[in-house]
Amino acid sequence: MKNFTSFADAGDYQALLNKALEIKQNPFGYQHIGRNKTVGLIFFNPSLRTRLSSVKAAYNLGAQAWVLNAGADSWTLEMADGAVMNGSTQEHIKDAIAVMSQYCDVLGVRTFPTLTDRDEDYEERTFNKILQYATVPVISLESATRHPLQSFADLITVAEFKRTERVKVVLTWAPHVRALPQCVPNSFAEWFSEVEWVDFVITHPEGYELDERFTKGARIEYDQRKALEGADFVQAKNWSSFHDYGQVLGNDPAWMLTPAHMALTNDAKFLHCLPVRRNVEVSDAVLDAPGSLIIEEAGNRVFSMQTVLHELLK
């Protein structure tokens, strides 16, 4: 592994999953790998789980971590190549990333999409600049189009809680009050459509089709009730439209996950990457039910990150 930005970087996903399950059993067993190593974490956007689980993962591995909230804690960064910097930006991303690379052995970066310029987002122009200027391995802490550490944590969670050899996993769109990125569903689709022991179904209202580069191989079912039938795991997430880029096309509250939806499933376990808008995306009764794994799923963010750090630092 050279960088970790997508499913492709995971290589043999089953081997990586087995490693994560092993590390979870013995979280301090690889401290020789992190000794005298520094993990740098840069956030261009807010975070609770990614930020804290990454620090914890570094500590478990015997490494130190620093965090920078770019823009808020540092100089305002210029992204455009060749910019005449006589406006509000104070330091070029080129210099900032090259400098920060000297202060760490691996660099985690969170960027978000513009949700207004689809080409800029789907070409990952910001993240690719970071890859270009970094001189150490780079981990995506969520980019414009992907959130691979989240999907890896979701895979760990499904593997831990599955009751049968094969499982049906459903990703369902959920209503929200804001326009959100497609990163989480893109990555979820990219990962779960490749897992051999998963029957993967995506359900969403018409107009919320994701980029086919992420959903190829997945079954798409517009009837949410039909999709949920017999599900072993249900992951709910809102996303804005890909085709009508960044738009909220409708927010039918009937798509909010309730116990009536879950009753259609095979006593499914419930997943959500968090943060969740309670009683908008999903009802309290689902989030707080015994079958809800939202806290365990967030807990596994430590082990997805720790496993990736292990692979990059070993």
Q: Cβ closer to ligand AN0: 34 or 108?
A: 108
Residues comprising the chain, all counted:
314
Residue 40 or 133: the one with the smaller Cβ distance to ligand CP is 40
* Min CB(26)–ligand CP separation in Å: 25
Q: Which does 85 bind (CB under 5 to 8 A by kind): ligand AN0, ligand CP, none?
A: none
Told to check if 175 binds ligand AN0 by CB under 6 A, we report no
Q: Which of residues 273, 286, 294, 308 is near ligand CP by CB under 6 A?
A: 273
Cβ-based neighbour number of residue 289 at 10 Å: 13
Nearest-angstrom CA–CA distance, 154 and 147: 11
**From the CA atom positions of the chain, what is the Rg in Å?**
19
* Residue spans of beta strands (DSSP E) within the chain: 38-43, 64-69, 77-78, 91-92, 106-110, 138-140, 167-173, 198-203, 219-220, 233-237, 269-271
Does 295 help bind ligand CP (rule: CB under 6 A)? no
Q: Which amino acid is at 73?
A: D
Scored b (16 or more CB within 10 A) or e, 257-277 reads beeebbebbeebbbbbbeebe
| Residue 181, binding choice from ligand AN0, ligand CP, none, Cβ under 5 to 8 Å by partner class | ligand AN0
Count of residues that interact with ligand AN0, criterion CB under 6 A: 7
Look at residue 48 and give the partner it binds from ligand CP, ligand AN0, none, a contact being a CB closer than 5 to 8 Å depending on partner kind.
ligand CP
109 touches ligand AN0 (CB under 6 A): no
Q: Which stretch, 4-12, 159-167, 180-188, 261-269, contacts ligand AN0 (CB under 6 A)?
A: 180-188
Residue 63 or 273: the one with the smaller Cβ distance to ligand AN0 is 273
Residues numbered 34 to 63 that lie near ligand CP (CB under 6 A) are 47-50
**8 A C-beta contact, residue 293 and residue 256:** no
Query: Which of residues 9 and 297 has its CB atom nearest to ligand CP in the complex?
Result: 297
Q: Give the other-Cβ count within 10 Å of 295's Cβ.
A: 10
> CB of 48: closest distance to ligand CP in angstroms?
4
Dist. CA 138–CA 130, nearest whole Å: 8
Q: Does 180 bind ligand AN0 (CB under 6 A)?
A: yes
Three-class secondary structure of residue 40 per DSSP: strand
Residues forming the site for ligand AN0 (CB under 6 A)? 147, 180-181, 183-184, 273, 275
